[in-house]
Amino acid sequence: MKTRDILAYSFSAIKLRKLRAGLTTLGVVIGIAAIVALLSISQGLQSTITAQLERGLATDTLLVTAGGGGGAGMGFGGGGDSGFKLFVSDVQTIKGIQNVEVAAAIIQRVGNLTVGGRSEISTIVGVDFAEYQDIYGETFVADRGTIPLDSRNDSVVLGRRVIDPRLNGTMLADANDPISIVWINATSRPPTAVTLPTNITGILKQIGSFGIGGPSDSGVYIPIAQAQALFATNECDLIIVKLRSSDQAVIDDVTNAIKSAFNGEVSAISATAVLNIISNVFSIIELFLGGIAAISLVVAGVGIMNIMIVSLMERTREIGILKALGTKSRTVLLIFLCEAVIIGFMGGAIGVGLGWVLANVVALVFRGGGGFMGNQAARGTFEMTITPVLTPTVFLGALAFGVGVSVIFAIYPAWRASKLKPVDALRYE
């Protein structure tokens, strides 16, 4: 039998049982759609996050945290087992290292902010404004009011979202309006509330992106000295270091120099390393999500096998006729496999389309922001726009996977069909 005739024959068999074939195909559609939707969303998410990080984390910066024992990435959050602490004054040591242009210590605490009659939980960041602006000259810029570089103790600079939660111009307060920051000192016995009543000095322009250590739309910035007084500490959480060059060699040199300056008790991570870590994490997430979606496809495959075996029983006589007319066993095998290919291909094609639509719908819901994520969450995080990415690899891979799974699960029924003896098959009732 010619290939075209085999295809036509298989197709006529599928057409005969439209509902059954449709439901079988649906299994493949769901599996493939799930894979495509999950992968294109996570790839979109990855490229969004990477892009934002690239903006928020300049490639010529290093983040220094206490706790050098662990590998890169362990450093975040500080606090290694050794009990080593990083102090604000350590900035001077780092500034002395060759190729370091500027370094800024950061103290971060979660506090309660009362502004314009509303009370919100916010991240309070203590940092030297002048140094911070040196490092993040593009993002640490005032839109309203000013950022006082002389570190007046009572100045407060707010991220855009703190004052304009929906980013629609409805400002809760403006520069020079009063603001009060309350921090609960849980280490004292009994815990005491420390209050800093002050006025808004400046409001940052909208940043959009986020970065570890870098300015954020939801940050509340106070001078480092003020933070030290308020939080009653000289320890810092993080030191951001700006290098004179973003060469890998310079990054490595300074990283090593910093580590040795603190006897290996700190970790210094470059933005590039962070990007790599995030990229690795996403690869794992993608694999995981793809794996979950693949399970549904395997279920669909079992469905195909089931249907094919039923179909084989029903068509035993037909197979007998085909064989009596001189059809080769191999052709019978191909006829059945072809049915699986058609189902797999149709399911795959529809599934890719549906998955893509699904990914875009999910992205749209995310973009809608507030309603879906809830006000609190939206405010607490950052504004994020996911554009689903459907790479040719995912497209073709999903299609091939759909066809492949269908064919693999059809091999057994097809083989059984091909092995039927014409006499027995013709006698089958």
Partner 1 sequence: MGAGWNGFLVCCGICGDSCNDGHCALLEIPEQVKKSDAETKLVICLAMVEAVNLKKTYLLGKVPVNAIRGVNLNVASGDFLAILGPSGSGKSTLLNLIGALDKPTEGKLLIEGVDISTLNDNQLTDIRRRVGFVFQFFNLIPRFTARENVELSMSIADHDKTERRKRAEDLLETVGLKDRMNHKPAELSGGEQQRVAIARALANNPRFLLMDEPTGNIDSKTANEIMSLVRGLNQEKGVTTIMVTHDQRLAAQSRRTILMLDGLIVQETVN
Which of 192, 167, 163 is CA-nearest to residue 179? 163
Q: How far apart are CA 406 and CA 340, in angstroms?
A: 5
Cα separation, 389 vs 5, whole angstroms: 39
Q: Kindly tell me which of 15 and 20 has the beta carbon lying closer to partner 1.
A: 15
**Cβ distance to partner 1 smaller for residue 95 or 317:** 317
Q: Among residues 83, 191, 326, 371, which is the contact residue for partner 1, using CB under 8 A? A: 326
Distance CA 261, CA 94 (A): 8
> Applying CB under 8 A, does 331 fall inside the site for partner 1?
yes
349: left (phi over 0), alpha (psi -120 to 50) or beta: alpha
Q: Rule CB under 8 A: say whether 3 interacts with partner 1.
A: no
Shortest Cβ 396–partner 1 spacing (Å): 32
* Contacting residue, 91, 105, 162, 322, with partner 1 by CB under 8 A: 322
By CB under 8 A, residue 278 contacts partner 1: no
Residue 20 touching partner 1 (CB under 8 A): no
Residue 327 sits in the site that holds partner 1 (CB under 8 A): yes
What is the number of other CB atoms lying within 10 angstroms of the CB of residue 365? Answer: 13
| Tokens standing for residue 201 | 């000095």
Alpha carbons 179 and 394: distance in angstroms, whole number:
51
Q: Is 5 in the site for partner 1 (CB under 8 A)?
A: yes
Amino acid residing at 72: A
Choose the stretch contacting partner 1; rule: CB under 8 A; options: 134-142, 206-214, 323-331, 385-393.
Answer: 323-331
Q: How far is the CB of 305 from partner 1 (least distance, A)?
A: 23
Question: Using the rule CB under 8 A, which residue among 110, 302, 313, 324 binds partner 1?
Answer: 324
Q: Does 320 bind partner 1 (CB under 8 A)?
A: yes
Q: What is the CA radius of gyration of the chain?
A: 31
Backbone angles phi, psi at 202, to 5 degrees: -150, 155
Q: String of b and e for 35-73 (b: at least 16 CB within 10 Å)?
A: bbbbbbbbbbbbebbeebbebbbbebbbbbbbbbeeeee
Look at the block and give the residue holding tokens 């480092």: 224
317 counts as binding partner 1 under rule CB under 8 A: yes
Of the candidate residues 1, 26, 182, 373, the single one contacting partner 1 (CB under 8 A): 1
Please tell me whether residue 102 adopts helix, strand or coil conformation: strand
Closest to 342 measured CA to CA, from 24, 2, 19, 1: 24
Within residues 409-428, the interface with partner 1 by CB under 8 A covers: 421-423, 426
Q: Assign 428 to helix, strand or coil.
A: coil
State how far the alpha carbon of 227 is from the alpha carbons of 64, 88, 153, 230, 417, in Å. 19, 11, 9, 5, 78
Least separation in angstroms between residue 328's CB and partner 1 is 5
> In the set 289, 309, 321, 411, which binds partner 1 (CB under 8 A)?
321
Q: Which of 90, 237, 318, 383 binds partner 1 (CB under 8 A)?
A: 318
Determine, following the binding rule CB under 8 A, whether residue 311 of this chain makes contact with partner 1.
no
Of 166 and 328, CB closest to partner 1? 328
- Please, are residues 347 and 29 in contact by the beta-carbon 8 Å criterion? yes
- Does residue 7 bind partner 1 (CB under 8 A)? no
The residues that bridge with 110 in the sheet, in sequence order, are: 123
Task: Tell which one of 199, 329, 381, 387 touches partner 1 (CB under 8 A).
Answer: 329
CB of 382 to partner 1, least distance (A): 60
Bridge partners for 182 per DSSP: 112, 195
Size of the site for partner 1 (CB under 8 A): 25
Residue among 2 and 189 whose Cβ is closer to partner 1: 2
Minimum CB distance to partner 1, residue 349 (Å): 25
Is residue 301 close enough to count as binding partner 1 by CB under 8 A?
Answer: no
Nearer to partner 1, 259 or 317 (CB): 317
Positions in the binding site for partner 1 (CB under 8 A): 1-2, 5, 9, 12-13, 15-16, 317-318, 320-329, 331, 421-423, 426
